[in-house]
Structure 1
């Protein structure tokens, strides 16, 4: 949707007048018909956000969520016809939305939910064959200069709050009363064949994965992870990535001669 055209601007901004030049097939008032169409479009976009962020809606209630989503829709109309990705900036909006600041973990829950949507629609890339992994990881001299490419569905959400436990509680896996909201957690989202999975990671492992996604070598990613988490376990983290079949390519960074 091109938000720069007068029609699109008026469509999502109720303060703007009906665009001029509109006609109806039966001669009825175009302003009335446009108002109905405007409302239907807005409601449809709010419904799309509710489908993407069901836990966010549960946490704040339907009335608050839909009011917040309406403000977002008016400020951030779709830029693509692919509605599955609509709401990519919703978490950032929630984080800066004054009425939602009393629920400080809400934006990270939105990031987790959007990560699951993105993981669902990510490209399907096969993992590195086990024998290739074995050869690459068994070379002590070249090990730390390796660069691991991870599956496109991988998303890491590092939060100051118990974002994974909140998500798990809303899946029925935990009792919500047992969740310590102030406990920092890191969640790993990825797709396993056709199913999207979400697991909790140690903070260092989450930083390691994010560093790999930024193109760092094994050595660089491990150093970054260790500096932020002294309990970071490189061997167990690599084993986890192998077990979940999230490594899709291995390259070796040439060292300067």
Structure 2
């Protein structure tokens, strides 16, 4: 099989039609659409199972049949961009958000976003997290100017729905209904295990600003303006202790490292 027909074969595996790519034939030299259909089905089933394995809470929330409908529609439009099936479905949450039959389940896409973050954190690069001792070594002016580089396994999900509580309760056999309120969830893996942490509401904007590269001083000022009760020390200590950052960058000093 030449390279052109290899590409055509790969494309045909995700095609729901009956056409057999030109140049693809069985041992007798004739096209065999039934045999190709077996390959097509195996590939589609495998991709759908990969999605179900990556988004188990999302699947549990809607049931196997409904999830399979969403997964089949996604497989129709998205070919794997990597040979690693663990990476398949990075944009599945956006697909869920736009899936017409799920329009009444406003929390579903953010739940899928949290699950995508959990799997991405699990497979993220290893890195030593920034410690409190590293921050303590910064002088006053330096602390305000410092930008904290996110840890490779740190992801923040801000939702109008209790997605962190939904995820947590679905880690158990018996599911209980959470209090319905907005939640901000920090997903981290500073060591071997992925952690899913609910952040205090007052810390949400501060955490988002820091992970987006805003200097510490500016992020703290904005957080205090939004909530006079915001506790800078507690919030920074909490995020650092959880392993949200990899290093502190001082402009003009170590920003090229």
> Which TM-score bucket, shorter chain as reference?
0.7 to 0.9
1:7–1:230 Cα change, 3 Å: farther
Unmatched 5+ stretches in structure 1:
none
SS for the counterpart of 1:200 is: strand
Partner residue of 1:232 out of 230, 233, 245: 230
Change beyond 3 A, Cα 1:64–1:227: farther
Instruction: Report the CA distance between 1:175 and its aligned residue.
Output: 4.8
- The TM-score normalised by the length of structure 1 is 0.88
Displacement of 1:233 in angstroms is 2.4
The answer to whether residue 143 in structure 2 is matched with residue 170 in structure 1 is: no
Q: CA RMSD in A?
A: 2.5
Match of 2:78 in 1: 76
1:46 aligned to 2:48? yes
2:248 corresponds in structure 1 to 250
TM-score (norm 2): 0.88
Deviations 1:22-41 (A, max 9, x none): 11236675211111100100
Alpha-carbon distance in 2 for matches of 1:207, 1:130: 21
Q: Any idea what the Cα deviations from partners look like across 1:118-175, whole Å, max 9, x if unmatched?
A: 0001111112355432111xx2233211111221101111001110110111123985
Partner of 2:140: 140
Runs of 5+ unmatched residues, structure 2: none
2:19 counterpart of 1:17: yes
Alignment of 1:78-227 (within 5 A): 78-128=80-130, 130-136=132-138, 139-172=139-172, 175-177=175-177, 179-181=178-180, 183-227=181-225
Question: What is the rounded CA distance, in whole Å, between the counterparts of 2:197 and 2:91 in structure 1?
Answer: 23
Aligned residues: 249
- In structure 1, distance between residues paired with 2:198 and 2:210: 18
User: 2: distance between equivalents of 1:101 and 1:159?
Assistant: 16
Cα distance, 1:248 vs. partner? 2.0
1:31 to 1:173, Cα distance in 2 relative to 1, 3 A:
closer
1:102: how far off? Answer: 1.3
How many angstroms apart in 1 are the aligned matches of 2:188 and 2:130? 16
Bigger shift: 110-119 or 125-134? 125-134
Cα offset, 1:249, TM superposition: 1.1
Q: Structure 1 pair 18/224, CA: closer, same or farther in 2 (3 Å)?
A: farther
Residues 121, 187 of structure 2: 8 Å contact kept:
yes
Distance 1:102 1:198, change over 3 A: same
Q: Distance in 2 between matches of 1:154 and 1:98?
A: 31
Report SS of the residue matched to 1:176.
coil
